[in-house]
Amino acid sequence: MIRPAKPSDAAQILDIYAPIIRHTAITFEYEIPEVDEFEERIRKTSEFYPYLVWEERRKILGYTYATRFRSRKAYDWICESAIYVAESARGKGIGQKLYQKLFECLRTQGLISVIGVVRPHAQTVGFHEALGFQKVGVIPYGGYKHNEWHDAGFWQLVLFDPVPTQPAPVKPFPSIADLISLNA
């Protein structure tokens, strides 16, 4: 089942995220956040953007969310996305279904495009491109983690075709959440 994340989900979400921080450069985060800090991240993100989890039998197996891309007004219609799936749950379509639901939420809010910032390697790139993302750029030496440099790749998904010439103001996720069926 897909549902909005709650701050009380922070510990389970960290169970998914902590090994990724600790052992990979998928995220450039170095330190594992404390549970209370992560609760605040969920709370703050959820004030405007979707933060969704995939839950089975009260166990969170994956999560996705969107955040503001840049702070200037002209960037209101673009956001950045993130997605993480528990290692034991990968390859079951959970990530794809979570992302598709995230995109539905973002379209309903009135966002025009999504940026995925990924390490350019075949599995991550293939996942994003299969969902319609297109490569828009790579920053060589974009981040340093685990004693080596990593490129930061930018992939974009345009949510509307055609793109509206006069977009409406973006609505906060809480104001449209009831319009979205969150069951997978």
The CATH number of the domain holding residue 69 is 3.40.630.30
> Domain for residue 158, yes or no?
yes
- Read off the pLDDT band of 169 (50, 70, 90): very high
Query: How many helical (H) and strand (E) elements, i.e. helices and strands, does the chain have?
Result: 5, 7
Q: How many independent structural domains does the chain possess?
A: 1
SS3 call for 31: coil
* Tokens found for residue 133: 């993302």
pTM of the model: 0.95
How many angstroms separate the Cα of 107 from the Cα of each of 38, 78, 90, 99, 100?
26, 11, 26, 12, 11
Q: What integer is the mean pLDDT of 12-36? A: 96
Q: Domain for residue 184, yes or no?
A: no
Instruction: Please give the Cα distance from 122 to 98 (Å, whole number).
Output: 20
Predicted confidence at residue 29, as pLDDT, reads 96
Examine residue 164 and state whether it is found in any structural domain, yes or no.
yes
Inter-CA distances, 146 with 25, 28, 86, 138, Å: 7, 10, 21, 20
Specify the 3-state DSSP secondary structure of 2: strand
What is the per-residue pLDDT for 183? 63
The answer to whether position 77 is within a domain reads yes
Give domain status of residue 86, yes or no.
Answer: yes
Tell me if 163 is assigned to some domain: yes
Closest CA to 112 of 157, 155, 62, 77: 77
Tell me what pLDDT residue 180 has: 87
Tell me what the mean pLDDT of segment 45-51 comes to. Answer: 98
d(CA 50, CA 106): 8
CA distance 121 to 78: 24
Checking if the pLDDT of 109 tops 70, the result is yes
List, as own/partner pairs, every contact residues 145-149 make where C-beta atoms lie below 8 angstroms and the sequence separation is at least 24, other chains included.
145/25, 145/28, 145/30, 146/24, 146/25, 148/25
- Looking at the predicted structure, is the pLDDT value of residue 184 above 70? no
pLDDT digits (tens, 9 = 90+) for 126-165: 999 999 999 999 999 999 999 999 999 999 999 999 999 9
For the chain, the average pLDDT equals: 95
Query: 106 lies in which domain range?
Result: 2-179
How would residue 34 be classed by pLDDT, with cut points 50, 70 and 90? Answer: very high
Q: What pairing do the DSSP bridges indicate for beta strands 51-56 and 59-68? A: antiparallel
Rg of the chain in Å (alpha carbons): 16
Domain presence at residue 79: yes
User: What is the 3-state composition of the chain as percent helix, strand, coil, each rounded to the nearest 5?
Assistant: 35, 30, 35
pLDDT at 123: 86
Residue in 121, 2, 133 with CA at minimum distance from that of residue 62? 2
Quick check: is 152 in a domain?
yes
